[in-house]
Each structure stands twice: as C-alpha cells, then as structure tokens.
Structure 1
Amino acid sequence: MSQLEHDISTLNGLIATTIDSADGYAEAAKEARGSRFETLFNARAGERRNLANTLQRQVGLLGGEAESSGTVLASAERLFFNLKSVVTSHDEKMIVNEVEAGEDHIKAKYEDAVRDRDLSAQVKAVIEQAYQAVREGHDEMRDIKHSLQG
C-alpha cells in the first residue's frame, strides 16, 4: 500500500468513526430531550459532523473518495452500547456512562492514528488537530461522568 493509499484509508476510517460518534450524540440528544444534557449532546453531534467534513475535505484534496457514512459494524446504537434501551430509564448517570464509553472508543481510534508513523506529515497534522477536539469532548464527558458519581 502506498503512503497516499494509507493516508486515505486512515482518514476514511476516522471519518466513519467520527460519523458514528455524531450519530450517537444525535441519538443521545433525542433521547435526553428536556434534560440538562440535550443541548450539550446536540452541540457535540454538530462538532463531530464538522470534524468528519474536515477529514472528508482532506481525502478529496488527496484525490481519494471520502467515506460518507459510519461503519457497517458500529451503528450509533452499537457505538454507544444500545443507548436507546438505556435512556428509556431516563437515568442521567446511565446515559452519560454510555456516551462516555463511546468517547473512549473514538479517542482510542484517533490515538492510534496519531501514533501511526506511516502517515504523511500533512495528514498527520490534520488528524492531530481533529484529535484535540475529540480529546476535549472525551475529557468533558469523563468529567461529567465523574461529577455524577460523586
């Protein structure tokens, strides 16, 4: 696999995971309607869609065809571990725990990409910038989770 192919493949993998995350947040916002987390979840869904768009533009600049949907095996419900069944209980702790688990997943995917020594410098820089937003989102959800436990 050439470096260009590797760059495009890595970006497309992150795009699919980021779309899954956006879909998961949108589902969480819908199910948390009226709760104190609805606005936060909607904002995070929008942020993740913007990140996916940024990565899609980079694939286009590289001459590739960008991923336009989430992963086949990890729908929003799977990524957030069947969030819909959890939120029917309207337990904020359970909702936040499931969302934070999804955050662990996306953060790990981005960390793997940031450590990838085979990426071009240009693509690595784009991924590192996106990772900052992912990490901030993860850390925010982690902190919310811990505040609800204490």
Structure 2
Amino acid sequence: METMMFGNDNDGVTVLKTLTDTLADSINGYRDAAEHVDSNEFRQMFVQLAEDRSRTLSDLQAEVSRLGGSVDSDGTTLGHLHQRWLDFKAGLTGRDDKAVINEVERGEDYLKGKFEAALSSDSLDANVRSPIERAYGSVREGHDRVSQLKHSLEGHPTNI
C-alpha cells in the first residue's frame, strides 16, 4: 500500500488533489461504463454512482480551495490512458456487461486503496483528515456496491 506523508496545509492540498484527480477518473469510469452496458438497470446504477461521486468530488474540491489550492477536475493522465486502453480492448474483444463491471470494480479497488493510503498516514492534519473520511464513506459504499454486483454475476452467462 502507498504511504503518503502530510504535515501542513500544502501537504494536505497535495493529498486532496491526488484524491480529487482519482475521484474524477472514477466519475469518468462510471459514465463510460453507463454507455457500454446493455442492461438499463446497470446503466442507471452507474449514472447514480457517477452523480454520487460528483458530489463527493465537489466536497473535496471545496477543501482544496479552502486550503488555497487550485481545483482541477479533469482526472489523471493514468485514468485517461486506462479509459483509452479499455476502448481499444473493447474494440478487439467486444464488451459485455460482466466485462464492464469487472473493469469498474478494478477501478473501485484502486480508488479505495488511494483513500486508505491517505487515511493510514499518522501525520495527516485533522482538518484534512475529516473531509477525506467523509469522502471515504462514499467511496467505500460505491466500491462495495460494485463488488457485490460483480460477485452476484459470477457463474451467470457472459451476456446479461
């Protein structure tokens, strides 16, 4: 697991910006997933999760601004590369709902790990830790929802 060290507001801004970039990637991932699933139920779930994640992102961006940092919601280069790889892979092999859900869960695991790494730091200032903990609750809920969905589909036919 990654370790992030924080001791002042500039360090807090750094971790918050890392988390907001990753949240933006997550929103983009949910929107992409909603476009590529056949099931209306899954599409609606991904749209709702993207909206929930957008609210979480806005909350953390407000903290970045409060601490004097600049806000950017485009996501990370790594996130954009991951999306392009998924598009390329889908072009070669096709996408079914299970494949999309598997990729979404992989992204959720990554995001959850980023938040856990931030929260595991003993030097994270309390005024930064509190909004990260609130955001983590939302991240964990989305992660668990997608994980449960993935596991409920195991053993079912590839196309739902």
CA-CA distance at 1:117 after TM superposition? 1.7
Alpha carbons of 1:118 and 1:13: their partners in 2 closer, same or farther (altered >3 Å)? same
Query: How does the TM-score come out when normalised to structure 2?
Result: 0.84
User: Is 1:82 aligned with 2:86?
Assistant: yes
Question: 2:9·2:67 contact (CA, 8 Å) conserved in 1?
Answer: yes
Of 57, 61, 64, 1:56 maps to: 61
Structure 2 residue matching 1:19: 3-state secondary structure:
helix
Any unmatched runs of 5+ in structure 1? none
1:104-132 residue CA offsets vs partner (Å, 9 max, x unmatched): 01000010111122221011010011001
Count, aligned residues? 149
Structure 2: give runs of 5+ residues left out of the alignment: 1-5, 156-160
Larger Rg: 2
Contact 2:34 2:47 in 1 (8 A): yes
Aligned-residue offset at 1:73: 2.3
Following TM superposition, the consecutive aligned residue runs of length 4 or more in structure 1 with deviations greater than 4 angstroms are none
Task: Check conservation: 1:17, 1:106, Cα contact below 8 A.
Answer: yes
Question: What does residue 29 of structure 2 align with?
Answer: 24
Higher relative contact order (CA 8 A, sep 6+): 2
Counterpart in the other structure of 2:158: none
* Residue number among 47, 51, 63 corresponding to 2:52 in the alignment: 47
Q: Which residue of 2 is the match for residue 111 of structure 1? A: 116
> 1 CA distance for matches of 2:26 and 2:138?
13
CA distance in 1, matches of 2:76, 2:11: 18
State the TM-score, normalizing by the size of structure 1.
0.89
